[in-house]
Structure formats: C-alpha cells, structure tokens
Amino acid sequence: MPHIYCTICQNLLHFFAEMIRAASKRSRFPAARNRQEFTMKHIIFFDLDGTLTDSGEGITNCVIHALQKQDWPIPDSDSLRRFIGPPLIDSFQGIAGMNAAQAAQAVTDYRARYSTVGLFENRAYDGIVDTLAALKAAGKRLFLVTSKPEDYSIRIAERFGLAPYLEEICGATLDGRINTKDAVVRLALERAGQPDPADIEMVGDRLHDVEGARKYGIDCTYVLYGFGTREEAEAHHAAHIVATVDELREHLLAL
C-alpha cells in the first residue's frame, strides 16, 4: 500500500507540474507577441529630396535661374546645395541674402522653371523603389511627407515609380498656407487618421525632418546618402542614422 500511495503522489506531482508549465507558456508567449506588436512601427513618413530622390541638379539649376533673373550673385556649389530641403523663401533670404520681397520674386522665378523642367532633372536613388516595395509587402503604410509643393511631388512620384507604394502624398501648398515641414507632418497625421506617434517613423536627410517630426513626438531616421551630414544628424539628436539605402531598408523592416 505505501508503494501504491507513493506512486499516486508522484503521478499527482507530475500532473500538477505539467499544468503549471502549460499555464506559464499560455501567459508568457501571448504577452511576448503583444509586446512585439506594440513596439513595431507600421507607418513610415518619407521625405522626398535627398531621401527618395536625388534632386540636386534640378533644384540648383532652378536656384541659379531665379538668381540670374534678378542679377543676383550666384553662391558657391556648397551654398547652392544648402537650398535642397528647407523652404525656398527661407533659403533665398538666409543663404542668398535677399530681402523678403526679393526672395518672394525669386521663389516665383524658381517655380516657373521648376514646374516645367527642373522637377524632372531628378532620379530615384538606386534601390529606393525596391525598398518601398519590400516595406509595403511587409504591411507598412508609406506616406510621402515633403515641404515641396504637393502638385510637384505627385508628378515626381509618378514619373520615378514611387507612387504605387505610397498611401498618401502630402506636400506644401503653392499659396503658402502649408509651407514648413512640421505643417506637412500635421497634414500627414490627419490623412493617416491621427495614429499614435509611437507607431510612426520619419525618414529624412535634413534637420527640418528631425525637428518637424519631433514636434509631434515622432522619431526620425536620418539618412547620410542625401544632402545632410552626420554632424547635423547628431546635433539635432536624430533617433537613428543610416548610411545607405540598403541599411535603411533593413532598419525599417526591423522596426
């Protein structure tokens, strides 16, 4: 009899041990999945110039055209590159040294050439279209968020094969109502349905992308293959820094 009781006790202990292990698995594994789903980012906001396309030629040619229309001195090549990204009205004043009226006229002259010629002096970075395709296939929602006028941005996205992967193309307005990065980020948030900022990653190549996203609590990945610098990225505390398109793709797929 003692032997029988001992066997029964051992079986009961084994039974309860298995129940405890099973309960532990049920409570632990779903929680791990939920944590992973919670931390994954499903929405990517992309800048355009210097992030998806190399637009340097078209922008600088149009800046030169606008300055020549007013017989204004042409800056050196490094200064011309600084026009890429920020709002034009600010650059014509801050870089070229124009007053407000001169800068406004320069923007008009710039757009006259850009709208017909300059926007197509451009190219998608190697690997960018494949990157957008991979991200969309992975279930990410992709938005173009640029301070370039929206009409121009749509035409560029369509010409260079970006549009099929983008849920929305959000840009500035030609009348100046929306003309800063943070204003376009706000527009993108509205069109995306006001998602949780923790579910979004901004991708850009200049400080305006970092700061415009930060205003709404959005992290920014800063790309070094565009028109910015590592020093600028670090000075403005970009959340992530990547050097190449391949590195960007792997980084965003892992978010």
For residue 47, indicate whether it is catalytic. Answer: yes
Residues 135, 133: Cα–Cα separation, whole Å: 6
Cα-Cα-Cα-Cα torsion 12, 18, 24, 25, nearest 10 degrees, comes to -160
Q: Per the residue annotation, which of 47, 49, 205, 219 is the catalytic one? A: 47
Residues 226, 51: Cα–Cα separation, whole Å: 6
b/e string for 64-86 if b means 16 or more Cβ within 10 A?
bbbbeeeebeebeeeebbebbbb
Total residues found in the chain within this entry: 255
Q: Token pair of 38, please? A: 């919670």
Q: Token pair of 81, please? A: 């590159």
Q: Which residues belong to the active site? A: 47
